[in-house]
Amino acid sequence: MNNEGNMYHASICIPPRHWCYEPTDNIMADRAEMNLLMHACSFFPKPKVLELGTYKGGTTNNMAKIVSALGGHLVTVDVKSCPSTLPEVQRGECLPESVVGCDIEDKYRSCITQLLVDPAEDYSYMLAEFAPYDVIFYDGDHSYEGIRRDLEMLKPMRNEDCIEMLHDVWWDVTPPPVDGPLRVMQEQPKSYILNFTHIGVLRTGSMLKLLGVPNVAL
C-alpha cells in the first residue's frame, strides 16, 4: 500500500468469480473496475445500491447481476439536461432521455429503479425514498463542485458501513481529463485508490469491508 498524503494506493485481492458473475465489457469502464463494483455489492445480504450516472446502463447491468442474485435493489440516476457544473469534456456524455439506460437488460429491470432528474432542482427526496444505501457509485458530474454537492446530498442516505466509490479519481494519462474526483478524494480523511484502476473508495471502514467475506458464492 503506498501513501500519498491523505490517499493510499491499495491492492486488494478479488477472488475469481463463478462464470455467472463475470462482468460484461463496457466501454465506459474496464473489467477490473466492474469486478470491484460487483465485489462491493456482494458484501451485503440484500444490497441497496445507488449509481449516479446511468449513461446507457453498462455498469448498471453488471452491478444488477449481484444485486438481483441477492434480492437487493439498485437505483440508478441520470440527468434530463447537462448540469451547469459539468466539465466541458463530459458534455457529450449527456444523452437524450430516451437513450439513457437503453442497454439495461430486461431481466434486471425488476430490481432496478431508473430515475431521470432535473439537475437544477432539489431531487434529493427522490433518492431518499430508497435510502439508506450500502453501496454508492459516483459516476455522474465529475466537476469538483458537482462531486462535493453529491457527497453532501448523500451523506444522510448512506448506511453505517456504506461503501462509497468514486470513478475517475485516477488516470493513466497526464494531465487527467477531469480532476474533480481526485481533488475531492484528496480532501477526504483516508481514501484509497484501488488496484491502480480509476476507482477510489472513501474511508478506512469501506476499505475494510471490501476485505471481508462476501455474501454470494464467488
Ligand X SMILES: C[S@@+](CC[C@H](N)C(=O)[O-])C[C@H]1O[C@@H](n2cnc3c(N)ncnc32)[C@H](O)[C@@H]1O
Site residues (vs ligand X, CB under 6 A): 26, 28-29, 52-55, 58-59, 77-79, 83, 86, 93-95, 119, 139-141, 146
* Closest CB 27 distance from ligand X, rounded Å: 8
* Closest CB 117 distance from ligand X, rounded Å: 7
Instruction: Output 23 or 214, the one with its CB closest to ligand X.
Output: 23
Instruction: Output 8 or 133, the one with its CB closest to ligand X.
Output: 133
* Helix, strand, or coil (residue 96): coil
Helix 58-69 / helix 31-41 crossing angle, nearest 10 deg: 30
Instruction: Output 134 or 141, the one with its CB closest to ligand X.
Output: 141
Query: Exposure string (b/e) for 92-120, b if CB count within 10 Å is 16 or more?
Result: ebbeeeeebbeebeeebeebbebbbbebe
Instruction: Output 31 or 190, the one with its CB closest to ligand X.
Output: 31
Q: How many CB atoms lie within 10 A of CB 145?
A: 14
Nearest C-alpha neighbor of 17 from the set 2, 44, 37: 37
* Closest CB 213 distance from ligand X, rounded Å: 27
* Closest CB 55 distance from ligand X, rounded Å: 3
